[in-house]
Structure 1
Amino acid sequence: MLTSRLRTGAADGERINVEHKGDPVLLRWTSLVSLGDSFTEGMDDPGPGDTYVGWADRLAGMIAEQAPEFRYANLAVRGKLLQEIIDEQVPLAVSLKPDLVTFCGGGNDILIPNSDPDALAEVYEVAVADLRSAGCDVVIFTGFDTRSTPLLRSIRGKVAIYNSHLWSIAERYHCRIVDLWSMHVLHDRRAWSEDRLHLSPAGHQRVALKTAQILGLTDDHAWNEPWPALEQADWVTQRKADLKWAREHVVPWIGRQLRGESMGDGLAPKRPELLPLARCADEI
C-alpha cells in the first residue's frame, strides 16, 4: 500500500511528488492502461456484480487513493490469445495515449500443444515496439513457474523459454518487468483460486504489491510476506483434490480448445475508457 501523501492537482504529464518513508519519489504517470487476458482482467478476484477486481485494479487503486487525477483503463478480456490482445487492445491503448501500459499475454497460447514460444515472443516484441513508439512506458510480466501445478508442469520448459525472450525484450525497449516466475510466494495454494489457473484475491494483492515495488511506488516487500502456517493434507486427500480439479476445470478447458471457444467470447473490456478510478484501494 502507498502510505505516503501525493501532491494532487498536477496537470497531465507533470510529475507528482511522492514522499515515501521520508524519501521523495517522482511519480511520472498520471494514466494507466492495462492489456491482457484473464490474469489482468482479474479472475478470480470477485468484485461488484459479475465483475472482477484483480491486481491491475488494485494497483490503480493504490495510486488513485491519494492521486484523484489519476486515470485508468483495463482492456483485458479472459481467454484472449496473444494475437487477439495485439489486434484488439494495443491499437486502442495507443489511441488513449496513456503514460503507462501494463502488457501481459501469451499464457493462453503456451497452454496450446505445439505452440512455439520463440514465435510468440517475436509477435510480442512488435507490440512492445508499437507501445514504446507511442511514448508509453511499458511494464511486462513473465509467465508463472508451473512446477507446483499438476498437469501444467509439462509446459514449464516452454514458459521458461518464453520468459527468457521477455527479459531480452524488456532490456531492448527499456521496459520494467515483473518476474512472476521468481515469486515463490505464489507457490502456496492460497495464492490460487479453485481452478488453479487464476489467482485468488490474496494472490492478486501480492502481484499488485510486487508491481508497485517495481514501479518505485514503494520500497517495502509486503508482497513477499510469509503465509501463515497451514496444515498439509495427506497424499490421498491431495490426489483426490487433483482428480476433482482435472474433472471440473481441465477437461472443460480442453473441450473449449477443441471447439475453438473461449471464455471471453462476446465479452467487452470492463474499463474501456481512460477515466478516474472511482474507488480507493481500501474499497477494493
Structure 2
Amino acid sequence: MQTDAQTTASGSTPATYTSFVALGDSFTEGMSDLLPDGTYRGWADLLAARLAARAEPGQDFRYANLAVRGKLIRQISEDQVDVAAAMGADLITLVGGLNDVLRPKCDVDAVCAALESSVERLAPACEQLVLMRSPARRGPVAARFLPRMEQLYAFLDDLAARHGALVVDLHGAEVLGDQRMWGDDRLHLTAEGHRRVAEAVWQTLGLPPESDWTVGLPPAVRPGWAARRTADARFTRQHLLPWIARRLTGRSSGDGRPAKRPDLLPYAPLPSSED
C-alpha cells in the first residue's frame, strides 16, 4: 500500500511504495551491470534500493525481480505475470517485447496481444503499473527493425492510457542510443545506462529528481581502425557466434535459469550495491 510522505517543491506529495515487483528479460535482470562477485545489478535493483531508502522508519520495503534473460513476451506473460499479480505489490514494472521484434520473424500483432493480456492482469493487482519504451543502441540493426518497434510502442502507449499505467520513454532518449552506453555485447546497457534508467523510472513516479538522466555524454573520440576491428572481432567471437548458435538450435540464454529474485522479501541492500 502507498502512504504519503516527503512533499515535493511543487507542493504535491509523492507516494511511498512499500513493495516492488519487476518483470521482464535481461534488461530487467540487469545485464551488463556486472558486480565484482559476478552477479548483475541493473536499474531495477538500483530503483529498489532508492525506494527502500524512502520507507518509513520500522517499515520493511519488499522487492522481487522475476526477470530472466532471453525471455520473449509470451514467456513473460505465461511465467511471470500471474506470479507477480498474486504478490499484491504496490508497484509493478513490466518490460518486454524487444527480444521479439528484433528477431527476423516476428508477428508484432501477437506480441501486442501478449502485452495486452499481461497488462490486463497486472494493472488491477497493483497500485501503479509502469511500462517502458525500451532503449535501443543506435545503428543499422535498430534502424532495420524500427517500424516494428514503433508499432509496438504506439500500442503500448494506448494500452497504458486505457489501464492507468505510466510509460517511461527510454527509446526517445538520445543519450541511451549512444553506443558508449552499451556493453561489449552491444545488447545490454552499461552500469551508467542502468543508473539513468533507474533515474528515469524514479522521476516518472513523480519522485524528486537527483540528476538529469537525459543529458548527453561528452563528444566521442572515434577509435582508430585497428581498435575498431579488434573490438568487432571480439564481439563476433564472444557474443555474436554464441547467439547465432543458440538461434540455430532453438535454445535461449535463459533456459533453465530461475528468476533473479523470485520472492517478495524485505530488501535492504548493502551500501556498496546502492552506488
- What is the TM-score with the length of structure 2 in the denominator? 0.90
Deviations 1:173-204 (A, max 9, x none): 11100111111111222211111100100000
Alignment partner, residue 98 of structure 1: 89
Q: CA deviation at 1:150?
A: 4.1
Asked whether the equivalents of residues 20 and 90 of structure 2 are also in contact (C-alpha less than 8 Å), the reply is yes
Q: SS at the partner of 1:89? A: helix
Alpha-carbon separation, structure 1, partners of 2:139 and 2:189: 13
Give the Cα separation in 2 of the matches to 1:49 and 1:79: 22
1:152 to 1:247, Cα distance in 2 relative to 1, 3 A: farther
- Counterpart in the other structure of 1:36: 24
| TM-score normalised by L of structure 1 | 0.87
Q: 2-side partners of 1:216 and 1:157: how far apart? A: 31
Deviation at 1:221?
A: 4.8
Give the equivalent residue in structure 2 for 1:6. none
Structure-2 change in CA distance of 1:283 and 1:162 (3 Å):
same
Question: Quick check: 2:199–2:209 contact (8 Å CA) kept in 1?
Answer: no
Distance, in Å, in 2 between the alignment partners of 1:281 and 1:126 is 38
For the residues of structure 2 that align with 1:69 and 1:224, how far apart are their CA atoms? 32
Kindly report which structure 2 residues correspond to 1:102-251, keeping only aligned pairs within 5 A, or say none. Answer: 102-146=93-137, 148-219=138-209, 221-234=211-224, 237-238=227-228, 241-251=231-241
Q: Distance in 1 between matches of 2:250 and 2:70?
A: 11
Bigger shift: residues 151-160 or 240-249: 240-249
- Would you say the 8 A contact 1:65–1:281 is kept in 2? no
For 1:107, give the aligned amino acid.
L
CA distance in 2 between counterparts of 1:218 and 1:132 reads: 24
Instruction: List gaps (5 residues or longer) in structure 1.
Output: 1-12
Are the counterparts in 2 of residues 17 and 26 from structure 1 also a CA contact under 8 Å? yes
2:34 matched residue in structure 1: 46
Map of 1:255 onto structure 2: 245
Instruction: Confirm whether residue 80 of structure 1 aligns to residue 93 of structure 2.
Output: no
Deviation at 1:38, TM superposition (A): 0.3
User: 1:268 matched to which residue of 2?
Assistant: 258
CA RMSD of aligned residues (A): 2.2
1:26 CA displacement: 2.8
Amino acid across the alignment from 1:231:
V
CA distance in 1 between counterparts of 2:201 and 2:37 reads 26
Q: Distance in 2 between matches of 1:74 and 1:48?
A: 20
Shift of 1:63: 1.2
Task: State how far apart, in whole Å, the 2-side matches of 1:140 and 1:247 are.
Answer: 34
